[in-house]
Structure 1
Amino acid sequence: MTRIGFLALATALPGMALAESHMAEGGAALSYGERPFFLIDAMEEGALKDKLMSCQGQTPERTAFSIAHRGAPLMIPEHTKQSYVAGARQGAGIVECDVTFTADHELVCRHAQNDLATTTDILVTDLAGKCTTGFTPAGEGADAGAECRTSDLTLAEFRTLSPKMDASDASAATPEEFQGGTAPWRTDLYVAGAELMTHAESIALIDSLGADFTPELKAASVEMPHEGFSQEDYAQKMIDEYKDAGIDPSRVWAQSFDLDDIKYWIENEPEFGAQAVYLDDRYEAEDDDEGLIDPNDPSTFKPTMQELADLGLTYIAPPMWMLVTTDEAGGIVPSAYAEEAKAAGLEIITWTLERSGPLAEGGGWYFQSVSEAIDDDGDTYAMLDALAQDVGVTGVFSDWPATVTYYANCVGL
């Protein structure tokens, strides 16, 4: 049987399958838009392109294989109401809110506790004086910069900010100039009117859109415990907001880069811990080289995949490049890391497609292990196909979920 033939046999895992009612719910009609077709047109001729071309008339369906990474931040400010709606409209079955906290320990959706200087207008508001580190202009070889944390503000103050695309102008002489810097392959077209969200508000919105949830508990920029608010309090509060909203645990994939958070959920909230997702970042260990993972050398996997599985872990989520390498013919194939994870019975989710910008120069950080096989935007689907078919990932985060939704719908995932 050909590789494409195998695609018809693919089925969603029980834990990742959306309930039938959620497939039909949601006030927004699903739409692929133009981007999947732009990428397909750019592909090299072959069986995969032919298969994807054959699906141009299909009706979009929501799929849990497609995960909205911060919403749809390729074009819309991340972690905003509008970005989440766009991700759901593109058929993402799961939508991500990165979770951090304010000075009064309220949970809000931000990629990092200290990213307000680049993701909001705080530096040009009266709240600029509350930033951990105020604006410093560029000069004498140093870039312009500032550090503004959600923990610098109360929830009421946070709500007054206006979101923007995550960007800054390193050459800025003023806070106003620092607001720029949006990459040319992104856009500021959809910034006006974008709205920040609390974690609880994101739950209500995503539920209303017919999608499920993958909140990520972000590392605090402040020392923990913070004014009596411990790491365990933080991890528990995130779960409590789903319980308070009446969300079935089977619809929640709680994420963290901190293995201790995963252990906490497994031990204290087993229904939620059963689907907890360990975001594996051992590729950038800081303490010593023994913590660094070589994706093609299982002896560096400390803890090993089997040890992670023995903890009760079900899902592991490394970046895309950790899961693939190239063979002698230059094709994209599974890495030893991917093979070991599957052998231990771990399910794999990966990140992040559509985050690297144009792929003409090898795809950057997210494609670093297969850069020699990446030379244009059409290779977005070559990478996705290798992850889905050869690695066997359960889901893929994307900054523009329609790309993954189209593929999943076409091949029957």
Structure 2
Amino acid sequence: MSPQRNIGAGAEAELPEYAGHYRLEARLGSGGMGVVHLARSTSGLRLAVKVVHAEFARDPEFRGRFRQEVAAARRVSGAFTASVVDADPEAGRPWMATLFIPGPTLAEEVKRNGPMAPARLRRLTAGLAEALRDIHRVGVVHRDLKPSNVLLAEDGPKVIDFGISRPKDSELRTETGKLIGTPPFMAPEQFRRPREVGPAADIFTLGSVLVHAATGRGPFDSDSPYVVAYQVVHDEPDLTGVPEDLAPLIRRCLAKEPEDRPTPDELMRELRSVAASYDTQLFVPGQRAGAQGAAGPEREPESEPESAMGPAPDSVPHPAPAADQAGSGPADGAAGKPVRRPGRWPGRWMGRRLALVAGVCVLVVGSTLTAVELLGGGKEAAHGSDAPRTASAAFAGWQARPVAQGGGVPHCVSAAGRVVCAEPG
């Protein structure tokens, strides 16, 4: 079979047809150190195969770095990266195969559709913070986080290309006077002391990536890489156009000194507080409304509605009395137990009360007719209540205790989730 043809001159004009036993079907992209192809395994699994440029394949130092890239990529879990399936750093043209992840890169997405909306930007920030936590946890520093190395998959962003990453236990070191990286997405220490680059450098480049996602440009912009390098080391970042809620957090990421930047865990904690005002707003229970007599069928305290969003789950305790309007009573137990409020009869006690009354009453039919008459004049019955009325009462009908006149016994009937009480006369 003839090799794949590629438009262009030089050593890459003819590309290999196989990498190991994986057939290369199409070219996905090209970087400074290799070409990435779409390939399939024998079982049909789609893979992304990176094949090193021929000129670098002859460089022993580069082969050492490629072996380091494979080792670093294998250390990180596949939750936030492309999992390594196979590799051969010792082949004539070294290669590495990872799972193929459908989706554009962040660079392609911004170029095609413009800056991200604030909600998508917050999700991107959270996903990349989790990815860096996963990468740093296994002792790897990526050192080249940039929009073209972030894939936007359906289940969140994936960080790819560990070509210049370095595990902490690596024996390879950057040579004096040699800079490795992409200037607009490099940390100050990568220019000043490249041999001392640590995890905090990835946090700085994360800040630059987020500014690009939010505005379509970087925080340090110039046509000259030398000017960009000066700006990264000495100038303040330009955050014009970054959402106000994320700007302070991104500014912290872009601090000049590594110790002043947040860790991935700190980033995620702060993002949760930001999301509380936006993405999770619908799930925050509201306070009780002050409407009287508008409640539906009464429920036991464990399941009565906590907000306009609907009934609260049985396992969720009532909020503390301080969250209610005026007139609420104090809690009568430890945290997590239902709170009894004045004028409300607990469900079990009410059941026993009804059973007792049912035994005493001899004329249930007459009581029911009297109840119907009472319902017709419910306003007069309500005015005769001695119990205080509160603004926050959700079940106004439970606030009045029926008081017998002339020594009679109130007759109560339960039906359709309501309790109706009548008294003689």
Bucket of the pairwise TM-score, normalised by the shorter protein: under 0.3
Query: Which structure would you say has the larger Rg?
Result: 2
Give me the TM-score of the superposition, normalised by structure 2.
Answer: 0.22
Give me the TM-score of the superposition, normalised by structure 1.
Answer: 0.22
